[in-house]
Amino acid sequence: MIGFIFPGQASQFVGMGAELAGTYPVAAEVIGQADDTLGFGLSDLMFRGPGAELTATEVAQPALLVAGHSLGEYSALVAAGALDFAEALSLVRQRGLLMAEAGREVGGTMAAVIGSDAKRVEESVEQAVQEGHTVVVANYNCPGQIVISGTETGVGRVRQLAKEAGARGSIPIEVSGAFHSPLMEPVAAQFAEYLQVALITDAQVPVVCNVDAVAHTEAKSIKNALVQQLTNSVLWEKSIRTMMAGGVDTFVEVGPKDVLTKMMKRIAPEVQALATSEPTDIERVLQQFV
């Protein structure tokens, strides 16, 4: 059984989608639709940059949906028939604007702790919280890579404690705020209002949601999961294991780069994981399955 996985923010890069649009007319048509829907030249930023503008949360989020873990859940919902493409673009654009605004108003940052198990990172987070810092585990990505999110001082303290506890190191993540943390609570409340009127239908195939690693098909539970996702941890490794328990033995990553494919090698090296970032990748996957 094949499972499709979609990357989130930080997978974007200048030039993304250009070769796809030049190779497949349908890709050019979809990206053109994104320009029309959003009302600005998203394709120009994707193809030519500058990188600083493409990295901005309010731009990167719809760009990744077009090219297609957090944001990737919206791509998955489009693929599953629960969300119309144009509706998804509008939602992630609004989501990105709200998250960027929250980042400017309350600050915050994120970092990936490398070479430490989840329990030790959780212990470091707990100690920092007891010291008065605001910081949480944001993403359980894969063995040896746990993402933390919170205030600058909170994240900095956990990075220090994790290093002292034996972590190989930590890497700052280029985002505009403390995503998947309590600092996003104002965003969750505002975004819930947009989701209430958004046209989300029951999914035609199950979508494993980040917030609980459970397969959802009902529109109401999908909307609730999207709101909760803003302030709760992304249970990525657990989500993959849910899919494997359901019979998935081949994972195809749909989107730029191969971030999730690399994670798969750490989560479950025994299963097949394939990236489709470029036309040559897509042709190779098609030849294998068609």
10-53: pLDDT as tens digits: 667 788 878 888 888 888 888 898 888 888 888 888 888 788 88
pLDDT (0 to 100) of residue 217: 92
Q: Please, where in the chain does CATH 3.30.70.250 lie?
A: 108-173
Mean pLDDT over 138-154 rounds to 97
- In this predicted structure, what is the pLDDT of residue 61? 57
pLDDT category, 58, cuts 50, 70, 90?
A: confident
The catalytic position among 69, 133, 180, 216 is 180
Give me the DSSP letters along 206-249: -EE-TTT--EE--HHHHHHHHHHHTTS-B-HHHHHHHHHHTT--
Q: Is 70 a catalytic residue?
A: yes
The mean per-residue pLDDT over the stretch 111-116 comes to: 97
Q: What letter would DSSP give residue 256? A: S
Please state the pTM of the whole predicted model. Answer: 0.86
**Residue 181 to residues 94, 216, 236, 280: CA-CA distances in angstroms?**
18, 23, 16, 38
Round to whole Å and give the CA distance between 205 and 230: 23
At 288 the pLDDT is 82
Give percent of the chain with pLDDT exceeding 90: 61
In this structure, the dihedral spanned by the alpha carbons of residues 124, 129, 135 and 137, taken in order and rounded to 10 degrees, is 50
Task: Name the catalytic one among 11, 43, 70, 277.
Answer: 70
Q: Where are the beta strands (DSSP E) in 37-178?
A: 109-114, 135-142, 145-150, 169-173
Q: For 108-173, which CATH superfamily applies?
A: Malonyl-CoA ACP transacylase, ACP-binding (3.30.70.250)
Could you confirm whether 43 is annotated as catalytic? no
Confidence of residue 67 (pLDDT cuts 50, 70, 90): very low
pLDDT tier at 2 (50, 70, 90 boundaries)? confident
Q: Mean pLDDT, the chain, as a whole number?
A: 90
Which residue would you say has higher pLDDT here, 107 or 13?
A: 107
| For range 52-69, the mean pLDDT | 64
Looking up tokens 């490398």 gives 114
Domain with CATH 3.40.366.10 in the chain: 2-105+180-226+234-289
What does the block give as tokens for 212?
């609980």
Fold observed for domain 2-105+180-226+234-289: Malonyl-Coenzyme A Acyl Carrier Protein; domain 2 (3.40.366)
